[in-house]
Structure 1
């Protein structure tokens, strides 16, 4: 059931630093190369982000799932912050499942896991994003085998049917982290409206697990990011912001960096009397295996070596 009164639980803020759709043509301050990503990741963590959601780029700015580049980003962000480093398995709609598994093999604390089929519209082209049920199950088994916590990426109410199927298989252990992703440039995704958000939240009650085992995060793209995440904050949910999802601070004003969005989100949370969760508090809330400060999580050092 939806909350009848405002909640003041600690809020976990995720910052999605880069993404795999737009590049510096959308905002020249978007971090693409390792030094830029690490610098902005550290600043976002200092501003209050407990989780850093990480994509990587080739030197020419194109998308990559190169394990060498991701390994460098993983090691440096773990060394310079105590944040939870969440590596993408989405990468880009144009990359294969085999390539997208490379980040799982690096054994991060968390990774993303897309829950359905989409058509993306990228620079005027229609690009099919293959997340077949068999692919989802394969990702889930590889993730579970390494004691990684997946964040299940849900772009529409229909994808909750895939979440229900996956959870019914018993591959994953609770608590289950679900990210409701609104307003992506896709055919198959839902627009960033309060009605769509409330519909998705209500449908969570139909999943084959107790509601108390769910950890719900909310993301919304572009101009819908601020209003939808503010609604989510008022409802006691966790939120994601960052330049993967939005390259403007306000209408007509490009972002200087990711930390601006985290700072604003933390400020709104405090105005709503919600404390910003530290990375270690977030680890406890999400059921992560954890890591020592300054070091890679267990299993990742072996994978990096």
Structure 2
């Protein structure tokens, strides 16, 4: 099935600033504190990102955090400095289960399972433009990520009541089937904004065929981004554009600028993605263009 391009050559670029699984021992350039996350977000925006995807971390340990105070500090600072920048907050943490070795019914160390309401409490409080909504239940290394249809529906309701658009994260084709069910019962409204996550070991694998297959399962009016994890980051920037989608890079997804060369900032990753898109004949959307495409009003400086 052929599909028309879903953009006019103008690509909305998201930068995923710090993520949940990238660790300080992986790269010394990972933003940790709220101030570092803000600084890196602003630099990425200057390089061409119109959306920043935000996780936060414990400033003392560098470990992932879901503390509202850390989110509030980042969001408040970004809204003051760049009210035009589109904020996309994660709701992914809190869904990981690690079975105990002695009794798999009991959670072992590393389990982060939280009630679905707790995973979106910062969305209700801070009201970003976008909040991610993961539909995957899958193996992740030796662990399991769990997102049941009931919990997804509860989280989607809070996201929509906060006035945010859910960005649907799709890790395999079954997730797309669930998305269609959520559209059919009114949990989600079209045109849906979604992302294919490619390169996680037990999910979608990064290839042109995968992107086209996943794209062709979407509703005709869907807007999508193909996200490459690790070594596939920049290949998927190109493939997403060529398939009619948008683009995402960032230290959450991949820490290398090229083989063996660590990116020293998110802005460097954005700059390379921009060059790829422009070399293919596209342009990056400004924040004003991205807001218009996604239906967000312009924000005035507080």
Q: With structure 2 as the length reference, what TM-score do the two structures score?
A: 0.88
Corresponding residue for 2:15? 15
Q: Distance in 2 between matches of 1:75 and 1:253?
A: 33
> Which residue of structure 1 aligns with residue 264 of structure 2?
256
Match of 2:236 in 1: 228
Task: Please report how far the alpha carbon of residue 287 of structure 1 lies from its aligned counterpart in structure 2 after TM superposition.
Answer: 2.4
Mapped partners of 1:6, 1:237: distance in 2: 6
1:89/1:112 contact within 8 Å kept: yes
Query: Displacement, 1:170?
Result: 1.4
The number of equivalent residue pairs is 282
> Please, which runs of 5 or more residues in structure 2 have no aligned partner?
97-111
Contact 1:47 1:259 in 2 (8 A): yes
Q: Select which of 82, 85, 93 maps to 1:83.
A: 85
CA distance in 1, matches of 2:128, 2:55: 13
Tell me, yes or no, if the aligned pair for 1:13 and 1:239 is still in contact at 8 Å. yes
Q: Tell me how far apart the structure 2 counterparts of residues 72 and 198 of structure 1 sit (CA, whole Å).
A: 39
Query: 1:232–1:238: 8 Å Cα contact kept in structure 2?
Result: yes
Secondary structure of the residue that 1:86 maps to in structure 2? strand
Structure 1 runs (4+) deviating above 6 angstroms are 4-7
Which residue pairs with 2:131 in the alignment?
Answer: 111
| Cα contact 1:144–1:171 (8 A) shared by 2 | no
> Structure 1 residue 37: deviation in Å?
0.6
Q: What corresponds to 2:42 in structure 1?
A: 42
Pairing partner for 1:201 from 215, 224, 228:
215
TM-score scaled by length of structure 1: 0.87
Q: Which runs of 5+ in 1 are unaligned?
A: 296-305
1:279 lines up with 2:299 in the alignment: no
Displacement after TM superposition at 1:6 (Å): 11
Does the alignment pair 1:294 with 2:301?
Answer: yes
Q: Which moved more, 1:92-101 or 1:130-139?
A: 92-101
In the TM superposition, what is the alpha-carbon distance from 1:172 to its structure 2 partner?
3.0
1:269 to partner: Cα distance: 1.6
CA RMSD of aligned residues (A): 1.8
1:117-136 to 2 correspondences below 5 Å: 117-121=137-141, 126-136=142-152
Offset, 1:203: 1.4
Q: Which residue of 1 aligns with 2:55?
A: 55
Structure 1 residues 94-105: aligned runs within 5 Å: 94-96=112-114, 97-105=116-124
